[in-house]
Amino acid sequence: MGPLALAERAADDAAEKSDNKAVVASETKAAEAAPHGKQAGKDEDDAEPKSSRRSHGNSDADAAPHRGRGAASKSSTGFEGVFAGDDVAVYKLPGLPDRKLLDDKARIRVEKNAESAVRLTIVNSDDGSDMCQLSAHVDGNTAVLDPAQPCFASEGEDEDSGGMQGELTSGRAVLEGDDLKFEAQGTLAVSFPDQELEGELTYAFKGRRQ
C-alpha cells in the first residue's frame, strides 16, 4: 500500500475515531443528563401536587371551622330542651313593699322558633300550664328577648283585688353547656277598684337541662 493510500486510510481511521468519540460523548452527556432531568422533573411534579394539596387542604381545614362557628353562632338548635331549677320574680309598686315570689320547682321550656330564633316558655309549677311564651333571637350562646312581650298577667281573685298586667321589655338567656340562666326586666300595671298602679318587675331563672 502506497503512502497516499496509507495517508487516506489514516485520515479515514482518524475521522472514524473522531465520529465514535463524538457519539460516545453525546451518549455520555445524554446518560448524565437523563437522571438529573428525570429527578428534576420528578421533584417538580412531586412538589407541585404536594404544594397544591397542602394549599387546598389548609384552605379546607381553615374554612371548615369558620363555617362551623358561623353556623353555630346563629343556630337555635343548642337551646332546645326543658330546664328545671329555681326562679324569683320581684314586683315593685309605688307605696307598697316589694313582693318577691320564689319557686324552687321552676321550669322553662325552650323550643326552636326559626333557624336563629327560639321560644322560651315559663311553666307554672303548680299546674304545668304555660305562664309566658317569649320569643328571642339567638346570637352565639345567648338568646336575646324581643321587646315588649306580655308576661305574668293575672286577674284579680275578687272585686277588692286588682288584675295585673306585666310586660317584659328586655332580657336574655345564656346557655353554658346544659345550664341556662335567664334574666328579664319589664313593667307592671295593677288595677284596683279605686286606683291603678304602675311599677316594675324583674325575673331571674337558673336551671339545668333535663
**How confident is the model over 45-96, as pLDDT tens digits?**
444 444 444 444 444 444 444 444 444 456 667 999 999 999 999 999 999 9
Residue 149 and residue 205 share a domain:
yes
Full domain range(s) for residue 200: 78-209
In what helix (H) or strand (E) does residue 155 lie, and over which residues does it extend?
none
Could you give the number of structural domains in the chain? 2
| More confident of the two residues 101 and 33 | 101
Residue 87 and residue 68 share a domain:
no
Residue 85 and residue 43 share a domain:
no
Q: How far is CA 169 from CA 122, 136, 157, 166, in A?
A: 16, 12, 26, 10
Residue 106 and residue 50 share a domain:
no
Residue 51 and residue 106 share a domain:
no
Of the candidates 56, 74, 92, which is a domain's last residue?
74
Residue 104 and residue 56 share a domain:
no
Residue 88 and residue 60 share a domain:
no
Residue 91 and residue 15 share a domain:
no
Range with the poorest average pLDDT among 82-86, 156-160, 191-195: 156-160
Q: How far is CA 171 from CA 21, 149, 163, in A?
A: 95, 11, 24
| More confident of the two residues 145 and 58 | 145
